[in-house]
A and B are shown apart, each in its own frame.
Chain A
Amino acid sequence: MNDQQNTWVMAASGHEVITNTQLSQDVHKLVVTAPRVAAARLPGQFVIVRLGDGAERIPLTIADSNAENGTIVLVVQAVGKSTSDLVGLSAGDHIHDVVGPLGRPSDLVVEGTVVCVAGGVGAAVMYPIAQGLAALGADVITVLGARTAASVVYADELAALGELILCTDDGTAGRTGFVTDALADLLGKRPAAVVYAAGPVPMMRAVAAVTQPRDVRTIVSLNPIMVDGTGMCGGCRVTVDGKMRFACVDGPEFDAHGVDFDELDDRLGTYREFERQAMTHVCRSAG
């Protein structure tokens, strides 16, 4: 794009991709150098990355980190142009901008049994939360859902932190059915102090619907569209308890029972037309 803008971008670059491992058909795990982020980050926080000139700024959860090596782990599902570009990077490639850690750290509630519910790539969003809880001595049960066995990610990592209940829509691994069925069964048998949920909006909405009548405190990690991640644009606004909140600075975690999921789901569709165009543009230029 603009050549002169490059000087500072270059100075701030140096976020090398150390490894890129494919975890499932469309999910990759990237280990990236970002020493300052690695040193400061806490569970629940995210980064915003920008691949290079002209690229979007996209938010990604810090799935893990190694402060000593100065690296962070990003688990990326290729759903559109920017995420596809990211998973296409090879070891040795660079990401121009990585800013973070952003967002408030998770409110880790260590009390009785804690249930962590994750769907799809939400497993990687949940992992640091479960890790933080386990490190504080909480009794963590994870309910992990995916479409099919091949799309399950982070099951081993989550299993290492406590009991894991795996569900797939088609029954190719674990229980057949949705995470909410497993969660309802579980809560029927064992009282939980708090439930954490991360995943697609419909899943988080369904989890909230299961826990609300049971009066179980539920915390969801929301994923609205973001731009700056510093509270400057308000694009990430969500409605919680009837009040406008900025997910990037007030969240991303909120009390599920107050979240207007319909609005969140709807606003995520703002750029659907553009997203299609971006992908066909890519295919055209590639072909």
Chain B
Amino acid sequence: MTDRPLSKRERLKIDRQEMPTSDAAERSRSFTEVNVGFTEQIALLEAQRCLDCKRATCVDGCPVSVDIPSFMGEIERGDLAAAARILFADNSLPAVTGRVCPQETQCEALCVRGRKGAPVAIGHLERFIADWARGHHHDDVAAVEPSGRRVAVIGAGPGGLTAAGELSRRGHAVTVFEALHLPGGVLSYGIPEFRLPNEIVMDEVRRLEALGVQIECNVVIGRTYTLEDLQAGFDAVFVSVGAGLPMFLDIPGEGLKGVYSANEYLTRINLMQSYAFPDANTPVLHGDRVVVIGGGNVAIDAVRTALRLGAHEATIVYRRGRNELPARVEEVSHADEEGVRFQLQVSPLAIEGNDERWVTGVRCVDTELGEPDESGRRRPMPIEGSERVIPCDTVVVAVGTRANPLLTSASPNLAVTNRGYLIADDRGMTNLPGVFAGGDIVRGSATVILAMGDGKRIAGTIDEYLHATAVTIDSHRRRVMSEKGLGTW
């Protein structure tokens, strides 16, 4: 980069630019997006903080290796279209990841400016460029020669959508099967509007459809079709069904009225729009005092959603301390600003209810942190005699999700770990030839960017696989395709 005008000293003098946010008191009662986004002016200033390191360690922190210094340089030069091209070359959903990636543990954690002071706000700049690009049709995908090969993608979350786009750009005919009535996976049903507006996800889906990707909602693989049907009807299959089965605590009272899994709570609100009841027909309990158990992104999303539904008290109950909260730092500080209460080092023992079996509180015990456990985090140990009840009328359990056996139990030949996750080799291929897998169903609950990274990488290996294998359209295949309504050749 020769044409970067500022000296290193001048760059070092610029402070990290704050993300403009909507007013905490107001926003905590509405679903409008919290982060407003950088203006072009702020973005320029922030990009000037980048030192354009020879060895750009930030790139090592990015699971999809976005060429960060180059896109910073283009922002600085004011060529936003060029910045967008660089960004999209490595990341097909930057408007999403710019909003939801845990940058503080990825790219920004390795930014040299973070050693003395604040790292460059790479995530905010990523979002800035992606949002700019949404307003400036920059899609300059050249039409490709159809390969004549068909690929099925199972699950329309970030992993599946990314793979679908990449495969389609390589000329393959892609059909995505999604169990729910809308695509997007966790991006649609889990992550709330105030953090990731649904419109951004749907924009992306429209872009894929424009590329020729077919998205078929309301199809559950393992029920509507089996994996075997898809193996017969398609040349390759990419399984990206996520790990969406909610876990509960296995403590007394989880069957009381007023207890939700975070998935149910968030799905009712985000996917079914129950905040608009009765105009939307799906109800959700509007708790006055809501306790959310857990400390990850999911818990923080749930507790902030409770505030927006009108809760007077919305409390996180987490058995470890603030430093151990797995949620993104930004979400925790936003939650703080909005008035979420944190009961840290508190572990739930039971959910209590009244005679009519409505929730009345969570019986808890304080914990102290002992030696680190297998996860490397300090183990919470109950403090004797500290039992008490936190009064509430609604409890949301956000203690993680695991592999859903729906697909795998219908395909006993597919190799899984003892916890039900799929096993894939370094090409992303399972033990079944032509059946690939990635995202949360292989990694366990991970992140959007890792699922996308898998989708992108494995689309490449699927492409290689398709080139290395011959097209076979035998009578079996023809029959399955026509009988099952999987299209004709």
Which residues of A approach B to under 8 Å, CB–CB? 1-2, 4-5, 7-9, 11-12, 35-37, 39-40, 45, 50, 54-57, 81-82, 96-102, 227-228, 230-235, 237, 239, 244, 249, 260, 263, 266-267, 269-271, 274-275, 277-278, 281
Q: Tell me which of B183, B246, B273, B283 contacts A1 (CB under 8 A).
A: B273
Known: A56-B281, A278-B278. A96 touches B248 (CB 8 A): no
Of the A-B pairs whose beta carbons lie under 8 Å apart in the complex, a sample of 29, sorted by A's number, is A4-B202, A7-B206, A8-B205, A8-B215, A9-B181, A12-B181, A39-B484, A39-B485, A40-B225, A56-B272, A82-B281, A97-B218, A99-B179, A100-B223, A101-B224, A102-B220, A227-B264, A227-B268, A227-B272, A230-B220, A230-B406, A234-B264, A235-B260, A237-B254, A244-B250, A249-B406, A277-B278, A278-B283, A281-B278
Residues of A within 8 A of B273 (CB): 1-2, 54
Question: Does B325 sit within 8 A of A, measured CB to CB?
Answer: no
**SS of A interface (majority):** mixed
Question: Does B245 sit within 8 A of A, measured CB to CB?
Answer: yes
Residues of A within 8 A of B261 (CB): 233-235
Inter-subunit contact A54/B181 (CB<8 Å): no
Q: Tell me which of B202, B205, B283, B485 contacts A274 (CB under 8 A).
A: B283
Inter-subunit contact A54/B281 (CB<8 Å): yes
Question: Does B276 sit within 8 A of A, measured CB to CB?
Answer: yes
Q: Per-residue CB proximity of B170-197 to A under 8 Å, as 1/0? A: 0000000001111100000100000000
Inter-subunit contact A102/B223 (CB<8 Å): yes
Taking the closest CB of chain A, its distance from the CB of B271, in whole angstroms, is 8
Q: Tell me which of A81, A97, A235 contacts B281 (CB under 8 A).
A: A81
Residues of B within 8 A of A9 (CB): 181-182, 217
Q: How far is the CA of A281 from the CA of B255 in the complex (A)?
A: 30
Residues of A within 8 A of B263 (CB): 232-234
Residues of A within 8 A of B220 (CB): 99-100, 102, 230
**SS of B interface (majority):** loop
User: Size of chain B's interface in residues, with CB distance under 8 A?
Assistant: 54
Q: How far is the CA of A82 from the CA of B245 in the complex (A)?
A: 26
Taking the closest CB of chain B, its distance from the CB of A31, in whole angstroms, is 19
Inter-subunit contact B282/A56 (CB<8 Å): yes
Taking the closest CB of chain A, its distance from the CB of B149, in whole angstroms, is 23
Residues of B within 8 A of A56 (CB): 272, 281-282
Known: A233-B246, A267-B257. A100 touches B179 (CB 8 A): no
Taking the closest CB of chain A, its distance from the CB of B87, in whole angstroms, is 24
Question: Does B244 sit within 8 A of A, measured CB to CB?
Answer: yes
Residues of B within 8 A of A235 (CB): 260-261, 264
Q: Tell me which of B225, B245, B248, B260 contacts A36 (CB under 8 A).
A: B225
Taking the closest CB of chain B, its distance from the CB of A94, in whole angstroms, is 13
Question: Does B209 sit within 8 A of A, measured CB to CB?
Answer: yes
Q: Per-residue CB proximity of B395-415 to A under 8 Å, as 1/0? A: 000000000111000000000
Residues of B within 8 A of A230 (CB): 179-180, 220, 244, 404, 406
Question: Does B424 sit within 8 A of A, measured CB to CB?
Answer: no
B209, B223, B225, B285: most-surrounded residue (chain A CB, <10 A): B223
Q: How far is the CA of A5 from the CA of B225 in the complex (A)?
A: 25
Inter-subunit contact A233/B267 (CB<8 Å): yes
Residues of A within 8 A of B371 (CB): none
Closest to A260 in B: B255
Inter-subunit contact B257/A234 (CB<8 Å): no
Known: A40-B224, A101-B223. A266 touches B217 (CB 8 A): no
Closest to A273 in B: B283
Q: How far is the CA of A82 from the CA of B276 in the complex (A)?
A: 16
Residues of A within 8 A of B254 (CB): 237, 244
B218, B279, B285: most-surrounded residue (chain A CB, <10 A): B218
Taking the closest CB of chain A, its distance from the CB of B301, in whole angstroms, is 15
Taking the closest CB of chain B, its distance from the CB of A23, in whole angstroms, is 24
Residues of A within 8 A of B373 (CB): none
Taking the closest CB of chain B, its distance from the CB of A11, in whole angstroms, is 7
Closest to B181 in A: A97
Closest to B203 in A: A4
Q: How far is the CA of A274 from the CA of B276 in the complex (A)?
A: 12
Q: How far is the CA of A45 from the CA of B223 in the complex (A)?
A: 10
Residues of B within 8 A of A233 (CB): 246, 261, 263-264, 267
Residues of A within 8 A of B202 (CB): 4-5
Inter-subunit contact B224/A231 (CB<8 Å): no
Question: Does B280 sit within 8 A of A, measured CB to CB?
Answer: yes
Inter-subunit contact A270/B257 (CB<8 Å): yes
Residues of A within 8 A of B283 (CB): 271, 274-275, 278
Taking the closest CB of chain B, its distance from the CB of A265, in whole angstroms, is 10
Inter-subunit contact A234/B248 (CB<8 Å): yes
Closest to A230 in B: B179
Question: Does B216 sit within 8 A of A, measured CB to CB?
Answer: yes
Q: Tell me which of B181, B257, B404 contacts A96 (CB under 8 A).
A: B181
Q: Tell me which of B189, B216, B245, B282 contacts A12 (CB under 8 A).
A: B216
Q: How far is the CA of A34 from the CA of B26 in the complex (A)?
A: 46
Taking the closest CB of chain A, its distance from the CB of B275, in whole angstroms, is 11
Inter-subunit contact B483/A266 (CB<8 Å): no
